[in-house]
Amino acid sequence: MKLKIGLMITTLLVMTCEISFGKTDLRKEIITKKVSSFTVSKSVDQLTARAEIVLSRNTTVFDKYTIQDLFKQGDPVTIRSGYDGLNHIVFSGYITSVSAEIPISIKCEDEMYQLKKTPVNYSKNNVGLKSLIGSIYKGKYKVLEDIEIGAVRLPNTTVAKVLDKLKDNPWNLRSIIDRDGTLIVGPAYSRLSDLPAAKIHMEKELASNSLTY
């Protein structure tokens, strides 16, 4: 009797990323793949999504510009990441601060950075969520459930502050900026959500896990 032994080798995918800093009055668009690290923090319980990018000093663009000219508060930034070069957008927003030391740490916020500066003066005796969002926000938006808000008075405030107020009782609503820039507002766990389920390949996409059944 012959016994055949097969060996299955699973190869982990290699994570890749690309950072683009949008064109400004002082420089052209900068695209770099030389990134020491980046982190993205995003949650339905967190109004503003944040990112931190750490760049090494050997990035060639530093030979032409000073850090002060390269990166300024409010400059647009996009982070693309994926596996084996198949990158997609994981964060899009604006620079909020830049460290003075090396390696360079760049902190960013998503579109909420702009909504914190967008003024709102609004008052109505009775309004639904969809009507309210449509009145104060002029970009793309999606309301998961058109909940009755009631009487509102919002003098001398901002869009971000209104969205933050909607987190309070009795509404308990959450707001988040999607990858394509769409503002999504609704219950944290809406039964009406049509977002697809995320699929994760345990062996290829996770370096380690501590799941317990």
Residues 134 and 100 in one domain: no
pLDDT at 103 over 80: yes
Segment (H or E) for 68:
helix 67-70
Domain total in the chain: 2
- Residue-range definition of the domain harbouring residue 120: 115-187
Q: pLDDT at position 2, please? A: 53
| Beta carbons of 23 and 85 less than 8 angstroms apart | no
Q: Residue 180: which pLDDT band, with cuts at 50, 70 and 90?
A: confident
Q: Are 122 and 102 in a shared domain? A: no
Task: For residue 176, list its beta bridge partners.
Answer: 184
Token output for 188:
């944290």
d(CA 154, CA 124): 9
CA distance 131 to 121: 15
Residues 164, 150 share a domain: yes
Q: Which of 60, 85, 110 is the last residue of a domain?
A: 110
Same structural domain, 98 and 145? no
Q: pLDDT-derived band of residue 205, with 50, 70 and 90 as boundaries?
A: confident
CA atoms of 109 and 50, how far apart (whole Å): 5
Residue 9 lies in a domain: no
26 in the same domain as 69: yes
* Residue where one domain finishes, among candidates 91, 110, 129: 110
Residue 195 lies in a domain: no
Look at residue 195 in the predicted model and tell me its pLDDT: 67
- Calculate what percentage of the chain has a pLDDT beyond 70: 88
How many other CB atoms are there within 10 angstroms of residue 148's CB atom? 9
Residue 4 lies in a domain: no
> From CA 97, how far away is CA 92, in angstroms rounded?
15
pLDDT digits (tens, 9 = 90+) for 70-91: 899 999 999 999 988 899 999 9
Nearest in space to 28 (alpha carbons), one of 83, 69, 78, 82: 69
106 plus 120 within the same structural domain: no
Higher local confidence (pLDDT), 196 or 46: 46
Tokens 């309210």 label which residue? 132
Burial class (CB in 10 A: 0-12, 13-18, 19+), 2: exposed
| Cβ count within 10 A of residue 144 | 21
> Is 90 exceeded by the pLDDT of residue 155?
yes
Q: Do 24 and 99 belong to one domain?
A: yes
The predicted structure's pLDDT at residue 23: 92
Q: What share of the chain is helix, strand, coil (3-state, %, to 5)?
A: 15, 40, 45
- Are 62 and 138 in the same domain? no
Rounded average pLDDT over 33-59: 89
Q: Residue 115: helix, strand or coil by DSSP?
A: helix
pLDDT at position 201: 79
- Segment 9-23 shows an average pLDDT of 83
- Predicted confidence at residue 20, as pLDDT, reads 95
Q: Distance between CA atoms of 77 and 20, rounded to whole angstroms?
A: 6
Same domain, 72 and 151: no
Mean per-residue pLDDT over the chain, rounded: 87
Percent of the chain with pLDDT over 90: 58
For residues 120 and 104, state if they share a domain. Answer: no
Indicate the burial class of 19 (C-beta count within 10 angstroms; 0-12, 13-18, 19 or more): buried
Predicted local confidence at residue 176, as pLDDT:
93
- CATH number of the domain where residue 144 is located: 3.55.50.10
> How large is the average pLDDT for residues 145-157?
94
Q: Which single residue is written with the structure tokens 């990158």?
A: 87
Same domain, 74 and 120: no
